[in-house]
Amino acid sequence: VPKSEYEEYQKNKAEYAATLKKINDLELSTAENKDVLDTLGGMDASRRCFRVVDTVLVERNVGEVKEALETEKQNMM
């Protein structure tokens, strides 16, 4: 049974909304990463800091966090 034009429109509209949300989330994450990188920019790479990975707070050093954020930023672009 072929879908009606209205059902097809609703499906496309939902996909479009989901795509826009994903783009917005990526732009927000990129901006947040940039802010953190700017803040960490002048700090000693061996300085201790903390980072949330998924839902876990982990201890790292500034150098490790900067490297991970740069990688994430490049992957999001």
**Average pLDDT per consecutive 10 residues, the chain (77 residues; last block may be shorter):** 82 97 92 92 92 92 92 84
Phi, psi of 2 (to 5 degrees): -70, 145
**Residue 53: strand pairing partners:** 56
User: What is the distance between the alpha carbons of residues 9 and 41, in angstroms, rounded to a whole number?
Assistant: 47
Q: What pLDDT sits at residue 77? A: 75
- pTM for this predicted structure: 0.69
| DSSP assignments along the chain, one per residue | -PPPHHHHHHHHHHHHHHHHHHHHHHHHHHHHHHHHHHHHTTS-TT-EEEEEETTEEEEEEHHHHHHHHHHHHHHH-
